[in-house]
Structure 1
Amino acid sequence: MTDGTDRPNSPQPGPANASGTGNGNGGYGYPSAPEAGGPGGAAGYGYPQAPAPGGYGYPQSGQPNPYQQDPVQPGPYPPGGYPQGSQDGFPAPEQQPLPGPAFTPAPQPDWQAMAERSDAGRRSKRRLIVISAAVAVCAVAAAGTLWFMNGSDGEDPKPGPVAEGSQSPSPSSSEPAWDDPHTVPGQATLLRDRTGSTNIALGPQAEQGAGTKRGEVRFKDNANSYAQGAGQAVDTTKSFSVSARVYTSAKSGTHMAVSQGDGVSYAFELGHDTVNGKSAWVFRVQSGTDGAEATTSQVASDGLKTASAWAMLTGTYDATTKTIKLYVDGKQAGEVPVAAGIWAAPGAIQLGRARHHDIWAGPWAGAMDNIRVWDSALTAAQVGAVKGGKSEVKPTHSWLIS
């Protein structure tokens, strides 16, 4: 075995002399016989003596063997040597497991987490039941409150206050500001004609909302608080009727709820005014072109409360008899003849104002709803049915019908 350096030089031993000097007397190449009594005992010819250490042909102690290959050096030994079972200085090969499918134990369910989720689900259901019951109780209480506020005597509550300078709702293009059957879907400032095709657009400071128990439109007694139709709703050359349920806070002055005319003046107007120094409900028409004052005809109520009270106003015109009439809450307040008939002004229908001498006048202060137009002159019985909500005569146009 070598450690990587040159092998040591080990010269061949010289032949024994013929005289057999040394340990034997054999010839060249034969070992000498052992001396009698010498170590190893006597031996005859052909029997070699036990080799002396380091004899010729045998590896010397501590010397390399020239007839044998050095074994392969495995490398540095690990501390403490190789483990038991190694051969020739090499560790024994590791036993490789037989190939086969890997075994993975089936996962066990998290019983604690499942139990907690189940408990959470039960608690959620209990909370939902409690919330639903609370909502139902609140709904019943709210309904009772509304009934109490409305009263059992048939009187309607006052409309809510309207803040000066507030703007009409501005809904998104995809949905209305609230779910309201009185407006065109997606356009909360456009009153829908329920029985015709003439919708009415609210002005900048007119508001439409749920109100008390009916949809209503509210006006603030100024030039920007009005509503205008898409076109003419009444043919004033023929018989017609117009009605509106109104509320006003005004105690004097001219305030018109519904009117129609052209760019110069009105053809008819229905609302409130001061007559003979007293507050009254009025229905007025014009006979002459451009609304000359001398051609005005009107019917006014007498002694009826007008301020801070709801009233159903209905004006009729009979083209056959050329007569106009005014009804307040289903009862006739008066009538007057209109010999020349009513001026055929082609303008659009208006809410909350009227045209006077080429300017807008008579702004409404309050609220209104249940606005209807018929193409006939209703009888007293039919007007009473309208007040009671049982009319069988279909209007040609209607807005904000409860």
Structure 2
Amino acid sequence: MTDGTDRPHSPQPDPASGSGGYGYPADRISGGYGYPQPGQAAPQPGANPYQPEPAPGQPAGAQGFGPPQAQPPLGAEPFPPGGPAPDAFGAAAAQPDWQAMADRTEAQRRKRRMLTIGIGALAVVLVAGGAAFFVLNGSDGPGKEPVTASSDSPGPSGPSGSADPKTPEDDSPTVPGEPNLLRDRSGKMGIALGPGASLGELAKRTEVRFKGTADSYAQGAEAGVDVTKSFTVSTRAYNVSETGSRMAVSQGDGVSYSFELGFEVVNGKKAWVFRVQTGDKGQAATAQQVVVDNVNTTRTWALLTGTYDAEKKTIALWVDDKQAGQAQVSGIWAGPGPLQLGRARHHGIWSAAWDGPLDHIRVFDQVLGQEQITALKNNKPDKKTRSTHSWLI
């Protein structure tokens, strides 16, 4: 038997005349193994020339490896008629069962195919289950994803629903080429990050993170809203601190803020607050506020929304999509200065540094009602409630 490879060999010379074949002496009688040499007695019929001699004391005819074996009579067929022919070594050549081998191979193929299908189906179920778990649970900590996509964002075909294909810049949270300048998704006003503020890149969104220090803030290029007219300001906020004053969004860089929205300890209680300044001196006596202290204010995401109705002269604070209260005001002082994130201006100095992340920052030039703020909470504002400016949505 070979493995299909030609083995190296050397040609052998033809045997000399009168020799017994290749490698045998000339005086040996050819004709096969078991024949006697000259002077050797010929084997008796039925004797095995390769069987060893009986041991001393053993009866004649006894074989050294057990009882004598019966030999077929001369001329008899050594194998039953119709049986397999002997191979080169005298053993019957076994024929493989090709059909059984084919059946086993096909069964193994079916088993592998079913196993592959089963693994694929399991992967689909796991992915679908993970997506369902994510949608049902929403975001409940920093770094978690919002539940739905925003309609303020460019549509699937391009910005503002245009037919132009989207580019990577359309989804960028920052101005192209300016990694520290937040891109306005609804207008043209960028917000520059201070040295202590940073962006947190997540799978489907970006958040701006503040450390609660003086250099951790972000500042817009101009005022976000005209406080002499109706407006709404909103952000998703995650507050880490349990003490002090922490403002997520404010406006103004003069002697005082015009408005501020965030967290504060009021009368010993942790509370969300929306406060406006009605006098140009920035005194506490001329400030008006709406406070809610019966909800969780730390280490949980909350949608904070403050509104001003210029006709009714009222301010209101909403937490998620529930109105916490409202207050009557004489108006809002239009102090100088741009929109701020993560700090507020008090008595000519910066204070109230925010500690935690913010995202989904929007301002509107109108007063939003219950239905519209619920849409904001679900991150699905309708097209009629388009923000004038928005960042990180």
Normalising by structure 1, what TM-score?
A: 0.58
C-alpha distance in structure 2 between counterparts of 1:257 and 1:292, whole Å:
21
Query: Is 2:287 aligned against 1:296?
Result: yes
C-alpha distance in structure 1 between counterparts of 2:266 and 2:128, whole Å:
42
| Structure 2 residue matching 1:271: 3-state secondary structure | strand
Structure 2 partner of 1:200: 191
C-alpha distance in structure 1 between counterparts of 2:174 and 2:318, whole Å:
28
2:177 alignment partner, one of 151, 163, 186: 186
Structure 1 partner of 2:371: 381
| Cα contact 1:256–1:364 (8 A) shared by 2 | yes
Equivalence map 1:60-99=2 (5 Å): none
Q: Which amino acid aligns with 2:143?
A: P
Equivalence map 1:67-146=2 (5 Å): none
2:360 alignment partner, one of 370, 392, 395: 370
Q: Offset of 1:343 from its aligned partner?
A: 0.2
Structure 2 partner of 1:352: 342
Query: Is 2:315 aligned against 1:318?
Result: no
Q: Offset of 1:252 from its aligned partner?
A: 2.0
After TM superposition, the structure 1 stretch with the greater mean CA deviation from structure 2, 205-214 or 260-269, is 205-214
Off by >6 Å, runs of 4+ in structure 1? 139-146
Q: Which amino acid aligns with 2:348?
A: D
Q: Offset of 1:181 from its aligned partner?
A: 1.4
**C-alpha distance after superposition, 1:291-346 (max 9, x if no partner):** 121111011113100110000000000000000000001110110100x2000113
C-alpha distance in structure 2 between counterparts of 1:198 and 1:304, whole Å:
33
Query: Is 2:369 aligned against 1:400?
Result: no
| Cα contact 2:143–2:200 (8 A) shared by 1 | no
Q: Offset of 1:148 from its aligned partner?
A: 8.0
Q: Which residues of structure 2 form unaligned runs of 5+?
A: 1-119, 145-168
Q: Which amino acid aligns with 1:232?
A: A
RMSD: 2.6
| Cα contact 1:159–1:212 (8 A) shared by 2 | no
Q: Which amino acid aligns with 1:240?
A: F
Q: Which amino acid aligns with 2:227?
A: T
| Cα contact 2:218–2:341 (8 A) shared by 1 | yes
Q: Offset of 1:382 from its aligned partner?
A: 1.2
Identity fraction in percent: 55
**C-alpha distance after superposition, 1:180-220 (max 9, x if no partner):** 51110111110001111110000001111323642110000
C-alpha distance in structure 1 between counterparts of 2:311 and 2:320, whole Å:
25
**C-alpha distance after superposition, 1:77-129 (max 9, x if no partner):** xxxxxxxxxxxxxxxxxxxxxxxxxxxxxxxxxxxxxxxxxxxxxxxxxxxxx
Choose between structure 1 and 2 for higher RCO, CA contacts under 8 A separated by at least 6 residues. Answer: 2
C-alpha distance in structure 2 between counterparts of 1:145 and 1:221, whole Å:
38
How many residues of Structure 1 are paired with residues of Structure 2 in the alignment? 248
Distance 1:274 1:188, change over 3 A: same
Q: Which residues of structure 1 form unaligned runs of 5+?
A: 1-135, 161-177
| Cα contact 1:252–1:278 (8 A) shared by 2 | no
| Cα contact 1:302–1:333 (8 A) shared by 2 | no
C-alpha distance in structure 1 between counterparts of 2:126 and 2:390, whole Å:
30
Structure 1 partner of 2:89: none
| Cα contact 2:234–2:303 (8 A) shared by 1 | yes
| Cα contact 2:307–2:316 (8 A) shared by 1 | yes
Distance 1:323 1:213, change over 3 A: same
| Cα contact 2:142–2:357 (8 A) shared by 1 | no
Q: Which amino acid aligns with 2:375?
A: A
